[in-house]
Structure 1
Amino acid sequence: MTREREPVPGMGLTTGALARRLGVSPTTLRSWDRRYGIGTATRTEGRHRRWSPRDVAVLEAMCRLTSAGVPPAEAARAARGGAGAPGPPARDPDGGADGGADGDGRSRAPGALPLGDVRQECRGLARAAVRLDAPAVDDLLTAAVARHGVVGAWQDVMMPVLHAVGRKWETSGDRYVEVEHLLSWHVSTALRRATRRVDPPPPRPEPVPPAAPGPVLLACVPGEQHTLALEALTAALSERGVPTRMFGAAVPPEALTTAVRRLGPTVVVLWAQARSTASTPLAAHVADTHWGARGARRRPLVVLGGTGWAGAAPAGLPRPGGLGEALELVSGPYRE
């Protein structure tokens, strides 16, 4: 197998060099040329493509537009027009999209994620994630939070793509692990960026002030490493001005009860994504943890989050069905 040589100065980029620069595969470049007329007329004597600076500008615009969720045929027309590059009308003979989806919602392109019927923003995010285009992923996630808020961005943009990556990973062996890790890291970054500081209210001047609501304590149960859903709830609560304390993954039982006694939380959210980590006795123990002066003892409302708590929820331990429902339940005690 011969390695494609780097371009000679003045001759333009080779297909391999351009693919590495853009973060796409050479097959994608050839597909865009065949389908949409995004190509180059310059070839060497051996019939190898050479991509000029104008060709590169068109393809960079094409990548930006498809990452933003624009359908490839439309992106091709806009990219050619924006860069001033001539070319024939975009060809899309089978109605599909390279890295996108057919009219029936099923992808035909190698490496595309099984998204189904989702927002166009999801398709752009999926393309950027598969390309490992970290700046584009970050920009798209930030824009989604700004446009839809934390709950809308989580439910309508982040979750569909995360689930699609997970399904692809399960059916592809060890492939797409890097896509899942990169996407998860940037989702976490976007959620933490959206989490603002909320200070507790100052104490009232009465001799014996009424008990003010304590913060919401959020923690994964022992053995549970998945934190993204808790990070989403933390960010959504901060949007409503609710004070939180986020403890993250796999919090030991002793640390949970110690934190409850020290903080006096009004609500404790325990997250378990797998049945193997969910422990109803632990949840009941946390719910029965008291604090405060004798005669004015209090204990928290414990909310169970995640699919690990499948089945009927124990009495007094509510189990909301999603982020929106959890947000309403947990923020209830803090409404004036």
Structure 2
Amino acid sequence: MDLTGDLLSKAPPEGGLTTGAVARLLGVAPTTLRSWDRRYGLGPAAREDGRHRRWTAADIATLRAVCRLTSAGLPPAEAARTVLAGETPAPVAPAPGRASRAPVPLPPGRARRECRGLARAAARLDGRTMDELLTGALDRYGLPVAWDEVIMPVLHAVGRRWESAGERYVEVEHLLSWHVSGALRRVPAQPPSPSPGAGLSLLACAPGETHSLALEALAATLAHRGLPVSMFGAALPAEALVEAVRRTGPDAVVLWAQSPDTAAGGTVDRVEAVEWGVRGARRRPAVLVAGPGWAGRRPPGARHLSGLAHAVDVLATVTAR
């Protein structure tokens, strides 16, 4: 089984790393790095040709320190101020009953070993070992990194094996998907703050779409970060989706489509047209699309979420009150 995962294991080249490369190294979204640069002055020390960002080893060390503090619960603004000032922050107590699960990149070569272990357990139909490996990866690396660098590569590899081997291998894919779904549900959720903050994100697969694991990962990540979320799962009919939006009044709606056959722009239009609230102050949701099914079929004006970390970053911004 070919399970590859290219990691940035080398020191930055002389010219430095690009923003995309640094984002993959740290397990955050590129938009987060750009936002930290704009808001807190955490940008690269040098820019190639005066325009393109190039991050040096010192820049990356600064970002790592900020990531450690934000993972411990410090707000980004305070974390940036602390690191730039060279101060030592007071320890941040974790929320009761909540595991640390800090988003840290996997060490060089570790991703391939973790993928192979999970893939072999799946091939043996060894559910107990799959649970142990999935829980361990989520605890050590945090959900976004574990999803991108361990879980998704194995799911893709199993899917390719199933396509080439026919139905002789479909039981492996089904069992692996079941255990991944269970592991995601075990990620502890942080109760949303009672004070005004982020609004509700409604997540649903497009009508007829049955692949929901990526959306489950997004729901688990949002809940773990204390961001309100309602997850409606697979193959939600268009009428039911419209009714759910009308009744819950979300700030954002995410529609997932794995296949081009289920990526229907008409559904996006119907959801975007839903209104609620008192007369004179009616509101509509921001509708975002996610998944490979939307490639080349994205409705005009619809924003596309390119990955788990990017989706969380965008939704945190879109739903902020």
1:114/1:168 contact within 8 Å kept: no
- Where structure 1 has 5 or more consecutive residues not aligned to the other structure, the ranges are 1-112, 204-211
Residues in 2 aligned to 1:120 and 1:136: alpha-carbon distance in whole angstroms: 15
| 2:207 counterpart of 1:222 | yes
The aligned length equals 216
Identity of aligned residues (%): 56
Of structures 1 and 2, the one with the larger relative CO (CA 8 A, separation 6+) is 2
The partner residue of 2:268 within 283, 307, 310 is 283
In the TM superposition, 1:196-275 aligns within 5 A as 196=189, 198-199=191-192, 201=194, 213-275=198-260
Q: Report the Cα offset of residue 215 of structure 1.
A: 1.1
Matched with 1:158 is 151
Of the two, which has the highest radius of gyration?
A: 1
Matched with 1:101 is none
Letter in 2 for 1:258: E
1:224/1:249 contact within 8 Å kept: yes
In the TM superposition, 1:1-336 aligns within 5 A as 113-117=1-5, 118-196=111-189, 198-199=191-192, 201=194, 213-311=198-296, 313-334=298-319
Letter in 2 for 1:162: L
Residues in 2 aligned to 1:244 and 1:140: alpha-carbon distance in whole angstroms: 27
TM-score normalized by the length of structure 2: 0.64
Question: Any idea what the Cα deviations from partners look like across 1:99-131, whole Å, max 9, x if unmatched?
Answer: xxxxxxxxxxxxxx2213552111111111111
Matched with 1:208 is none
SS of equivalent residue, structure 1 residue 291: coil
TM-score normalized by the length of structure 1: 0.61
- Where structure 2 has 5 or more consecutive residues not aligned to the other structure, the ranges are 6-110
Letter in 2 for 1:269: V
Residues in 2 aligned to 1:195 and 1:313: alpha-carbon distance in whole angstroms: 33
Q: Relative to 1, partners in 2 of residues 1:216 and 1:142: Cα closer, same or farther, differing over 3 Å?
A: same
Letter in 2 for 1:131: R
Q: Which stretches of structure 1, 4 residues or longer, exceed 6 Å deviation after superposition?
A: none
Q: Report the Cα offset of residue 317 of structure 1.
A: 1.2
1:267/1:302 contact within 8 Å kept: yes
Residues in 1 aligned to 2:126 and 2:297: alpha-carbon distance in whole angstroms: 42
Matched with 1:63 is none
Residues in 1 aligned to 2:198 and 2:173: alpha-carbon distance in whole angstroms: 38
Q: CA RMSD in A?
A: 1.8
2:198/2:227 contact within 8 Å kept: no
Q: Relative to 1, partners in 2 of residues 1:294 and 1:243: Cα closer, same or farther, differing over 3 Å?
A: same
Residues in 1 aligned to 2:291 and 2:233: alpha-carbon distance in whole angstroms: 14
